[in-house]
């Protein structure tokens, strides 16, 4: 085990069998050292900085029916909403005023936000906030759409692979294809986006072998951003009775991902903060280095419920900004409000 941990830290590689063995034999003491080495590794690339991204959840309409997600189209309990272009710009303006220079626009797969409308939104944001980075997290679209939005000025795209096992993926995503998800990720990369991917921990049926495949996919794809969070069962989904992921198991995955892809930007997710009041701080101490406070208007916050009891539902953006700043400082890190590009990134087109 010592040797495997050293190899992970020094060479940033493990085989699938080694990862499975490592996960099966992890002791509390080794886990502590794993977290410490992950934290050290992140500091080598990004110092003590924690990058802030303002998250704007602009639509909870979704044409997909993912078994785990509260926004799935079959959930008729959801009160659906869409923000107007003006409302999105207002959220960004409030965030910009609070110092944010990086915005993430997230939604379900809502095709009412057509290519033309998304281009208009991105162009308006870029015109008003030229020094801010724009990230989209709006699901699978066509290659032409991805190209047009990149040309309009979008900097980054987040599309978690969710699980790198084709059979597990297809059992959780009726009507969707693992191949298409992977094609989208490769297309985004080829176009020149900074790409984010990642997975959930604690999905029903997920084994160490699946988790090893997730980690090895990250290693091979080498995304600029990696989002790993616990699966939290939602009562209005077919997985309502599932056990869900734990903070501890997720921390182990974050730390291993940090060691396998040392230069990635990795969020301490809201899902971690939902399961544990200091879940995000724990993630920062296990290798994460990004936090994404919510900028969406208070009137729609509760409606964007991928899972229940999500934190920060009633907090004004300025309150979130202060709360996060205090939490980051208390953990011994420094908030960083610049665009927060990947350490090796330069846009060429």
Which positions make up the binding site for (3R)-3-methyl-D-ornithine?
137
User: Rule CB under 6 A: is residue 139 a binding residue for ligand SAM?
Assistant: yes
Candidates 49, 106, 187, 250; binder of ligand SAM (CB under 6 A) is 106
Tell me which residues in 118-137 interact with ligand SAM (CB under 6 A): 137
Closest CB to ligand SAM among residues 71, 212: 71
Place of tokens 């499975």: 20
Place of tokens 């005023």: 97
Instruction: Tell me the window of 123-131, 158-166, 209-217, 318-326 that interacts with ligand SAM (CB under 6 A).
Output: 158-166
Could you give the angle at which helices 208-221 and 247-260 cross, rounded to 10 degrees?
A: 30
User: Rule CB under 6 A: is residue 155 a binding residue for ligand SAM?
Assistant: no
User: Rule CB under 6 A: is residue 206 a binding residue for ligand SAM?
Assistant: no
Residue 184 in 3-state DSSP?
A: helix
User: Rule CB under 6 A: is residue 229 a binding residue for ligand SAM?
Assistant: yes
User: Rule CB under 6 A: is residue 69 a binding residue for ligand SAM?
Assistant: yes
For residue 267, give the DSSP letter.
B
Candidates 290, 306, 312, 328; binder of ligand SAM (CB under 6 A) is 306
d(CA 9, CA 4): 9
d(CA 228, CA 198): 5
For residue 11, give Cα distances in angstroms to 7, 141, 156. Answer: 5, 36, 28
User: Rule CB under 6 A: is residue 271 a binding residue for ligand SAM?
Assistant: yes
Closest CB to ligand SAM among residues 94, 214: 214
Which residue numbers belong to the known binding site for S-adenosyl-L-methionine? 162, 181
User: Rule CB under 6 A: is residue 161 a binding residue for ligand SAM?
Assistant: no
Per-residue x/- mask for ligand SAM, residues 3 to 42, rule CB under 6 A?
A: ----------------------------------------
d(CA 288, CA 280): 9
Closest CB to ligand SAM among residues 52, 172: 172
d(CA 240, CA 67): 9
How many C-beta neighbours within 10 Å does residue 165 have? 23
d(CA 294, CA 54): 6
Place of tokens 């229940």: 308
Instruction: Tell me the window of 119-127, 157-165, 249-257, 294-302 that interacts with ligand SAM (CB under 6 A).
Output: 157-165
Q: Which residues have CB under 8 Å from 4's CB, separation 6+?
A: 14, 18, 21, 22
User: Rule CB under 6 A: is residue 195 a binding residue for ligand SAM?
Assistant: no
Residue 9 CB, shortest distance to ligand SAM, in Å, is 28
């Amino acid at each position: 085990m010592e040797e495997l941990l050293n190899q992970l830290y020094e060479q940033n590689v493990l085989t699938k069998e080694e990862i499975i063995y490592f996960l099966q034999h992890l002791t509390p003491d080794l886990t502590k050292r794993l977290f410490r080495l992950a934290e050290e590794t992140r500091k080598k690339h990004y110092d003590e900085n924690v990058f802030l991204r303002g998250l704007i959840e602009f639509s909870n309409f979704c044409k997909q029916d993912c078994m785990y997600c509260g926004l799935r189209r079959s959930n008729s309990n959801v009160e659906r909403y869409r923000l107007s272009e003006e409302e999105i710009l207002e959220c960004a303006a409030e965030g910009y005023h609070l110092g944010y220079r990086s915005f993430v626009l997230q939604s379900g797969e809502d095709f009412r936000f057509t290519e033309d409308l998304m281009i208009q939104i991105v162009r308006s944001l870029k015109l008003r906030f030229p020094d801010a980075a724009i990230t989209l997290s709006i699901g699978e679209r066509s290659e032409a759409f991805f190209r047009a939005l990149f040309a309009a000025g979008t900097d980054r795209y987040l599309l978690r692979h969710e699980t790198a096992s084709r059979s597990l993926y297809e059992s959780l995503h009726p009507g969707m294809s693992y191949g298409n998800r992977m094609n989208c990720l490769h297309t985004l990369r080829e176009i020149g986006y900074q790409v984010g991917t990642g997975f959930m921990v604690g999905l029903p049926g997920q084994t160490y072998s699946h988790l090893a495949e997730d980690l090895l996919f990250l290693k091979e794809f080498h995304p600029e951003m990696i989002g790993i969070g616990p699966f939290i069962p939602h009562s209005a989904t077919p997985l309502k009775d599932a056990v869900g992921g734990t903070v501890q198991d997720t921390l182990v995955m974050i730390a291993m991902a940090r060691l396998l892809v040392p230069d990635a930007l990795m969020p301490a997710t809201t899902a971690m903060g939902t399961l544990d009041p200091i879940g995000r701080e724990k993630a920062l101490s296990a290798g994460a280095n990004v936090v994404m406070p919510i900028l969406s208007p208070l009137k729609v916050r509760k409606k964007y419920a991928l899972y229940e009891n999500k934190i920060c539902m009633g907090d004004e953006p300025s309150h979130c900004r202060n709360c996060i700043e205090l939490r980051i400082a208390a953990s011994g890190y420094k908030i960083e409000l610049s665009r927060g590009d990947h350490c090796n990134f330069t846009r060429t087109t």
